[in-house]
Amino acid sequence: MRPRIGIEKLGAYPGSLVLPMRALFEARGHDYTQIRDVMMIDERSVNPGWEDPVTMVVNAAKPLLTDADRERIGLLIVASESGVDQEKPISTWVQRYLGLSSGVRNIEVKHACYGSTASLQLAAGWIASGVAPGEAALVINTDQSRMHLGKPWEYVLGAAAVAVLVSDTPKVLEIELGAYGVHTNEVSDLTRPTPHVETGNSETSLLSYLDGLEGALDDYLRRRPEAADLDGHFARNIYHLPFGGMGYRAHKAVLRRGGTSGRDEVREDFARKTLHSLAFVRRMGGTYGASTFLALMALIDTDADLRAGDRVGIFSYGSGSCASCGADWSVRKRAKPCAPPGCRRCSTPGARCPSPSMKRSRRRALRSSTAAITIPIWPPLAVKKGLLVFRGMREFYRQYGWS
């Protein structure tokens, strides 16, 4: 009898600031309906100066864990394409500020947006091996967009961290071991050649994503031929979401494999099986590897018809590239709220974010050739108490502290 392994707890941290897409589009002189209806994004997260991938990941995991959880965590994996140091792994800061044991094995993983799903699969295999009975794994993804303001893709990027506690007592999602498909192919689509450059060919990335979806499905059906009726096999489908609208394109590609191509049929099936999973990404923008887990959280939190035991097809993609899909058993449980208290709304010029505790503020303009959006930058003392904050550099070493 195979052990029951999966996600025991799942939480997220979306950052302190949120920028409404309507305000950004008006400032840039573009039609807001394009981002709302086609890209399916209403708001996007923005990191202030005191947040970075380290603070986000700690702030995502800290409220999730009890003292008992910390004692049984034996493996920590942090997946990110936004590393803050070329040598020192993010996972070491996480181990320290979460108060984990010195006996925890910790690593940082980089594989674009696929790293977090690969880490979940590695953690599940580690638990299934039985080498550390009773221990759990903490898998975290943390990413932020960089140096893109004024670029065509500034509307779809964002930031977030998700924390996943993986164990042999799954309360959120039970993984169906052995039910997966993989497709790997080298492609130069998106790249971060330096810590301050994020660029690439979005059209190549889109085509590579869809190729990966087709290839991963083919491999999945090779391993699970009984799933040939994809519509009947999966009660719900969720996808990696560089932007919300990509979920619709991916689901349409899956339906076409089963012979469903009519526009009304596709939209109806998408609304029933996938649309609920977009709820959080629509508010946070592109969150890289975190998006797959945010889609799962949104599905559990907003789909009233989802039932314990429903099989959920999960597709993950990472530039470079690697894609995988799997059939998982979803165990019905209310997910943690997406946004923590104290999230501030960014404003257009002339407006201010409400903050009773604000003593002073500085302003930073996000400029393009046409207009500017002004984001108030609050001093760390105005941040919600108990959050980890970045306090600056000292002789090349990063300094952190609690607000």
Task: Give me the catalytic one of 111, 183, 240, 251.
Answer: 240
Active site residue 353: no
Pairing of strands 136-144, 344-345: unpaired
Task: Give me the catalytic one of 8, 43, 113, 154.
Answer: 113
Under a CB-based contact definition with an 8 Å cutoff, are residues 291 and 238 in contact?
no
Among the listed residues 264, 267, 235, the one whose alpha carbon sits nearest the alpha carbon of residue 251: 267
Q: Which long-range contacts (CB under 8 A, 24 or more apart) does 300-303 make?
A: 300/172, 300/330, 300/332, 300/333, 300/334, 300/335, 301/334, 301/335, 301/338, 302/276, 303/236, 303/276, 303/277
For tokens 């991938």, name the residue. 53
Active site residue 81: yes
Cα 361 from Cα 366, distance rounded (Å):
16
Task: Give me the catalytic one of 81, 108, 154, 198.
Answer: 81
Q: Tell me the HSE value of 352 on the side-chain side, using a 13 A CA sphere.
A: 9
DSSP 69-133: HHHHEEEEEEE-S--S-SSS-HHHHHHHHTT--TT-EEEEE-BTBTHHHHHHHHHHHHHHHTSST
Cα 175 from Cα 239, distance rounded (Å):
16
Active site residue 113: yes
Sheet holding 236-239, edge to edge: 105-109, 73-79, 136-144, 159-167, 6-13, 173-184, 322-330, 310-318, 236-239
DSSP-derived 3-state class of residue 237? strand
CA distances from 237 to 65, 251, 314 (A): 28, 8, 6
Q: Mind telling me the catalytic residues? A: 81, 113, 240
